[in-house]
Chain A
Amino acid sequence: MGVRKEDDTSAKIMAPKEQEISDEIEIKVKKYLRGEGANLEVLHDKKLKGQLAVREELYGKSAKAAAKAEKWLMPSEGGYLEAEGIEKTWRIKQEAIAREVDILSRKNQYDIVLPELGPYTMDFTSSGRYMAVAGRKGHLAIIDMKSMGLIKEFQVRETVRDVVFLHNEQFFAAAQKKYPYIYNRDGTELHCLKEHGAIMKLQFLTNHFLLASVNKFGQLHYQDVTTGQMVGNYRTGHGRSDVMQVNPFNGVVALGHSNGSLSMWKPTSSAPLIKMLCHHGPVSALAFHSNGHLMATAGMDRKIKLWDLRKFKVLQTITGHAKTLDFSQKGLLAASTGSFVQILGDFSGSQNYSRYMNQSIVKGYQVQKVLFRPYEDVLGIGHSMGWSSILIPGSGEPNFDSWVANPFETSKQRREKEVKSLLDKLPPETVMLDPRKIGTMRPMRKKEKPSKQEREAEMDAAVADAKNSITRKKKTKGRNKPSKRSKKVQEAVERAKRPFLEEESSQKKKQKISEQSELPKSLQRFVRKAA
């Protein structure tokens, strides 16, 4: 660990309150340390060791400073819902909550009924301020959630299957009947992406500015929205799939297939990173926790499974159907099917999800999508008759960082942020299962290739063995000539040497072939092969 206890020798006996405070700070410091400290004992280079030791100390100090500053920098505390007596939290209705909270929060509970335009799906911007809704029958709208004002709504007059915001609220993409379209905030159609085809689901990788889509034939497309270049298009091989989620921790796109398997893709390879069998029936929904190693999947076999992505093992299985799943910023899981939404929470800290809240919307309304609103204690539900919003205390992150996602952003700040995020745009090669591997050393090969000396020593040993092991029958009648005996010994030595020499010549051949193949094909015939 990079942190060393400062007061080792002095003041060993601390008052109990101080002990508590220091324990609290230790837990917080762990969060900021981002993993274990490096092991410097294996280094032989003293200069490097000294430099790294200084750096590790610096990391410890900065983690401690961040932990201490938390007290003053974080003005708001999170929401909570505590049941008293024999009350259970999942029996508490939204009306009861509405009575207890202030008027601003009550405004976040509403139902919008639009019966003719089909099941609604929605997307929030990363700051939670703007929402894009799409009705199946072609209704697209952008809404400012702070003022509950409609920014723009329009009808595209064909089926819209999915909608997703690009890097900010100025642009959004809609998956329409034949192709996906990109629209401006004012409803102007900017692009028609014909290469993608008729897509089922869209996802946006924010750090890489990549728009990922999966279409009716099971093809996965990645397109860079800043340059318009198609970074990759791959056949998934499993047919049509309409379950797609991007893991925000590492930018990996996960697809759920109808044979119960889940595959994870990166933009630079045509084979999936991981293929895992999750359910006995088709996968119906998928969600990722923001810490990157918790995933929830739901299948038609009436099970919701929670996976640990580091070991790819099931942590917990919950019975129930789920047409849609979503994790909140604080780790609450919303699962819904039919007209019933249930929210599960992990309260013991041991990755054990239990019932937290329930909500039944009007019978007959079919829930299409649930989505937690970032930085607010609000859950948005898109259903067949419009959309609603309910309060879930404790689901949102109370303290936002102005330079990561700012719900109170001005237009100047938005423009600055756009430029800065474009400068920090990651190349598609940085998508990998473990993003912390960047900048680390490649692990040493377990078996080192033997050096020339070692190879020679091995060859000598083999030759000596061959010479000793040769046992010749004592032949008579003129067949035991010394010349024949020495020939036999020579043959045995050559046999022993042959594998070593073959290896050497194959290495040389490999070198030569690689050299040859560097030349363009028309010149290769002029390369003279050395005798």
Chain B
Amino acid sequence: MKVKVISRSTDEFTRERSQDLQRVFRNFDPNLRTQEKAVEYVRALNAAKLEKIFARPFVGAMDGHIDAVSCMAKNPNHLKGIFSGSMDGDVRLWDLASRQTVCQFPGHQGAVRGLTASTDGRILVSCGTDCTVRLWNVPLATVTDSDDSSDNSVKPLAVYVWKNAFWAVDHQWNGDLFATAGAQVDIWDHNRSQPVNSFEWGKDTVISVRFNPGEPNVLATSASDRSITIYDLRMSSPARKLIMRTKTNSIAWNPMEPMNFTAANEDCSCYSYDARKLDEARCVHKDHVSAVMDIDYSPTGREFVTGSYDRTVRIFQFNAGHSREVYHTKRMQRVFCVKFSCDGSYVISGSDDTNLRIWKAKASEQLGVLLPRERRNQEYLEAVKNRYKHLPEVKRIVRHRHLPKPIYKASALRRIMTEAERKKEERRRAHSAPGSMPRVPLRKKRIIKEIE
């Protein structure tokens, strides 16, 4: 007869010295674990509650400006700094870690309307309502610089005066040219004091301009005649124009999918388009209750942040119709510009109350270096919460956000209004000949036409 019995020798299963690690043996057999789903559900519920307990998104505010912050710019080579320009002509470079001004760039007489950094990050371009474009040398912000208590002022590298006030500026992601928006779209070179090229389609002011991250010669602009125009520098004429029902305040290209861009519109929603097919929006992002003023994509290309006239900052996922997160404070008034930080973990908003505020992109994230054990635990909690987030108890906790009363009421009102419109349309459809009123999706409804 052949016999074998389980016999475990202690030294195989325990450690020799107290300095050794404990030995861990795993057996993933589902039969050893009873009621897995119930345990997972309880963990998901606890994870949702813990997430809400640790959700403290506000990191800090940077004050120093004496007028509303009108525009911000990121430096792609230096993650720690951000430029901001205000309505009284004050341009500053901030250090995000210490939340202090590193240096100031005085010179603009009127409001600074646009800021952008060059490809290598050495030159800052600013434009304003005083019809000037100024180029500045960006000092290498080292620790010793920020120790100086007196603000450093930098003299401009060059000042170019032109014919009309400027509304926006943007630099090529990979090149030497930058574009300004004003009465028309002008393309400038760093060393020329006059624009190299000029585009115009229609007689209205162009209010924002953005270069494509993937294709250095393509740029998108939005004008006050409710249009979005796409230009190609190589063609020396505009490529396509899309007219919507309301004006677009700002455009942002998706850095990971450079053919897609999202437009922040006056009618409280953002529209994502594929630049190759402009007759229909890819996605409509609805959640704001007032005009969306600015939009910026995260470097991962998976989320974007919007700042709106209704005093809130919202973070959306790139393909979701509703926002994932909303940030508001009593002290933050109309938000005019937002930026996602270059490492994707912070969101910076510049608002009417002269402050720039830093928020965490993930409200309950633990900042700093995490041990691998901690990180794995956080990832597990996130995954188990996502698995059960459609169940009513968990959903109620995950979805819950406090909104200021005016915004809550305004969104309820908007819902009632859209519902009433929809009902009326349904009734009209029910009382007319079948097929005479085709359904037009919202993605198409807000577009008037597309012009070649």
User: Measured between alpha carbons, how far is A69 from B9 in the docked complex, in Å?
Assistant: 23
> Counting CB contacts under 8 A, is B39 at the interface?
yes
> Counting CB contacts under 8 A, is B370 at the interface?
no
**Residues of chain B with a CB closer than 8 A to A146's CB:** 10
> Counting CB contacts under 8 A, is A87 at the interface?
yes
**Residues of chain A with a CB closer than 8 A to B13's CB:** 407-408
- Asked whether A207 lies within 8 Å of B38 as measured between CB atoms, the reply is yes
Q: Which residues 360-388 of B have a CB within 8 angstroms of A? A: 387-388
**Closest B residue by C-beta to A248:** B34
> Counting CB contacts under 8 A, is B46 at the interface?
yes
Stretch of A6-14, A71-79, A475-483 lying at the B interface: A71-79
User: Measured between alpha carbons, how far is A101 from B4 in the docked complex, in Å?
Assistant: 7
* Total CB contacts across the A-B interface at under 8 A: 138
> Counting CB contacts under 8 A, is B26 at the interface?
yes
Q: Is the interface of A mostly helix, strand, loop or mixed?
A: loop
**Residues of chain A with a CB closer than 8 A to B40's CB:** 439
Q: Which residues 260-291 of B have a CB within 8 angstroms of A? A: none
- Asked whether B9 lies within 8 Å of A74 as measured between CB atoms, the reply is no
CB-CB under 8 A for A391 and B5, given A401-B25, A424-B39: yes
Q: What is the 8 Å Cβ interface bit string for chain B, positions 4-47, against chain A (1 contact, 0 not)? A: 11111110111000000011111111111111011111110010
**Residues of chain B with a CB closer than 8 A to A376's CB:** 6
- CB proximity of B429 to chain A, nearest CB, Å: 14
- Asked whether A104 lies within 8 Å of B9 as measured between CB atoms, the reply is yes
Q: Which residues 37-68 of B have a CB within 8 angstroms of A? A: 37-43, 46
Stretch of A135-143, A392-400, A489-497 lying at the B interface: A392-400
> Counting CB contacts under 8 A, is B433 at the interface?
no
- Asked whether B4 lies within 8 Å of A79 as measured between CB atoms, the reply is yes
**Residues of chain A with a CB closer than 8 A to B30's CB:** 31-32, 34
User: Measured between alpha carbons, how far is A427 from B41 in the docked complex, in Å?
Assistant: 11
**Closest B residue by C-beta to A103:** B7
- Asked whether A250 lies within 8 Å of B5 as measured between CB atoms, the reply is no
> Counting CB contacts under 8 A, is B235 at the interface?
no
> Counting CB contacts under 8 A, is A515 at the interface?
no
User: Measured between alpha carbons, how far is A87 from B37 in the docked complex, in Å?
Assistant: 46
> Counting CB contacts under 8 A, is B440 at the interface?
no
- Asked whether A407 lies within 8 Å of B35 as measured between CB atoms, the reply is no
- Asked whether A75 lies within 8 Å of B38 as measured between CB atoms, the reply is no
CB-CB under 8 A for A407 and B1, given A34-B30, A435-B37: no
> Counting CB contacts under 8 A, is B431 at the interface?
no
User: Measured between alpha carbons, how far is A291 from B31 in the docked complex, in Å?
Assistant: 6
- Asked whether B5 lies within 8 Å of A105 as measured between CB atoms, the reply is yes
Q: Which residues 81-121 of A have a CB within 8 angstroms of B? A: 81-84, 87, 92, 96-97, 100-102, 104-105
**Closest B residue by C-beta to A412:** B22
> Counting CB contacts under 8 A, is B2 at the interface?
yes
- Asked whether B27 lies within 8 Å of A87 as measured between CB atoms, the reply is no
- Asked whether A105 lies within 8 Å of B7 as measured between CB atoms, the reply is yes
User: Measured between alpha carbons, how far is A250 from B33 in the docked complex, in Å?
Assistant: 11
Query: Interface centre among B5, B13, B27, B28, by most A CB within 10 Å?
Result: B5
CB-CB under 8 A for A100 and B1, given A408-B14, A413-B22, A427-B42: yes
- Asked whether A438 lies within 8 Å of B37 as measured between CB atoms, the reply is yes
> Counting CB contacts under 8 A, is B140 at the interface?
no
- Asked whether B3 lies within 8 Å of A81 as measured between CB atoms, the reply is yes
User: Measured between alpha carbons, how far is A436 from B5 in the docked complex, in Å?
Assistant: 35
**5 A–B contacts from the bound complex (CB under 8 Å):** A104-B9, A375-B6, A403-B24, A424-B43, A435-B34
- Enumerate the 3 nearest inter-chain pairs by beta-carbon distance, A residue then B residue, closest first: A430-B38, A401-B27, A82-B2
B residues with CB within 8 A of A:
1-10, 12-14, 22-35, 37-43, 46, 319, 387-388, 391
